[in-house]
Copies of this chain bind each other. A is one copy, B any other.
Amino acid sequence: MKASKPRALDRIDLKILACLQDNARISYVDLANQVGLSTTPCLERVKRLERNGVIKGYKALLNPKYLRANLLVFVEISLETQSSAVFDEFRRAVSKQPQIQECHLVSGQFDYILKCRIPEMSAYRQLLEDVVLTLPGVKESKSYVVMEEVKEDASIYVPELNEFDEHQLT
């Protein structure tokens, strides 16, 4: 037997993804109607998208205002050495901190960009002390405190099929 060949996403798959990204708690009946299928093949497609890793999960979007996460700060960090031991330790420290939502290794002047949600300024100082400054290799760090969130949209743009022709699952 051959492994299930990962097929390219078709028009209906893209519609399903857009719908579920818009409202993850939609029922399969409604979803099927919106994409023009009956429930059975619609369910099968969703399960397949989950199996293939196209859909990574479903999340409720919470309002930071009510959860002591009012303050959003971006931090740029560069490390002294670029040894993998230091990098690993840095990653481990970052992973443990739930207040650090994102951490990306970037090219450019700095090594890492962090996105942190915290209750208030004092917690930010604490976080910097805990994570950033106690780590051995931190050379420099710069903080940007967010004054206003103009746009925050976790959604990924789901293209139309015609923009998407030659694109394949890999």
Q: Does A158 contact B (CB under 8 A)?
A: yes
Interface size class of A (residues with CB under 8 A): 35 or more
Contact check, A106 vs B66: say whether CB atoms are below 8 A apart.
no
Residues of B within 8 A of A53 (CB): 63, 66
In the complex, which of the residues B95, B145, B159 contacts A68, with contact meaning CB atoms closer than 8 Å? B159
Q: Given the complex of chains A and B, what is the CA–CA distance between A98 and B156 in angstroms? A: 8
Q: Give the copy number.
A: 2
Q: Given the complex of chains A and B, what is the CA–CA distance between A142 and B20 in angstroms? A: 34
In the complex, which of the residues B63, B65, B108, B164 contacts A143, with contact meaning CB atoms closer than 8 Å? B108
Contact check, B154 vs A113: say whether CB atoms are below 8 A apart.
no
In the complex, which of the residues B67, B68, B69, B169 contacts A66, with contact meaning CB atoms closer than 8 Å? B169
CB of A10, distance to nearest CB on chain B (Å): 12
Q: Given the complex of chains A and B, what is the CA–CA distance between A167 and B23 in angstroms? A: 29
